[in-house]
Structure 1
């Protein structure tokens, strides 16, 4: 991080494990049960990433003066995989931008990966397939 970076928001959570596992945010907005084993980590990661990615699409559209549909959408699928003793993730992001011509929509989808901090964080670290529906 550079010295000129400005923190925009900090998410604070407390997680407990086990049969009565739970995740709670410091502001109380997030409060869910996480009994183990459960795919909650992958679901939460998918939700967080797709929310960020959708915001990046909106920013890319605004920069290009492209009007998005009223309800653009991103569906995320996050796989937890195991090969031998190693665990790793794979992701699929399915993007719906109805009413936007395909070439423009694809340009927005591509640009969003360069804007979204989650996409930047996983770039080169996990296999990501992005599909424009």
Structure 2
């Protein structure tokens, strides 16, 4: 079992995908709405957008750590990480499932010989990348 270092807590109220999410400290407080592409109102965050933001920022941190560990000048190559998270219909059970993709762009990329290796290392290290590969201890229970 892993050693817990930090726990984030967020509560969803209202209509779930059409409601509100808020942390106890109030440092995250957002309305959530289904995207217009799914027939919703849009005009607010949605779960896929929030997951993409979390994955991109975590992956970028992991990537910059891999760069520093390899002696690469992070400021010179300034990575930009884009996460695409897609909600898919799952025909196997009539529900839904997520898929995703991380794309990394570097400044001065033509001078970074080990870019692909650094991205692969970050993908192995990033906790969100691990979670989407199924390496995630999940539980659902009553309060």
TM-score (normalizing by structure 1):
0.79
Offset at 1:20? 6.2
More strand by share: 1
Q: Once superposed, what is the RMSD of the aligned Cα atoms? A: 2.2
The gaps in structure 2 that reach 5 residues or longer are 35-39, 136-143
1 CA distance for matches of 2:113 and 2:96? 36
- Shift of residue 10, structure 1, vs aligned partner: 1.3
- 1:123 aligned to which of 115, 119, 133: 133
Deviation of 1:102 (Å):
4.5
Instruction: Name structure 1 gaps, 5 residues minimum.
Output: 126-133
Write out aligned runs for 1:1-133 (5 A).
1-2=1-2, 5=3, 7-18=4-15, 21-36=19-34, 37=40, 40-69=46-75, 71-84=78-91, 85-100=94-109, 101-123=111-133
TM-score relative to the length of structure 2: 0.74
Give distance in 2, aligned partners of 1:93 and 1:20: 27
Larger Rg: 2
**Number of residue pairs matched by the alignment:** 122
If asked which structure has higher relative contact order (CA below 8 Å, sep 6+), I would say 1
Q: CA deviation at 1:55?
A: 0.6
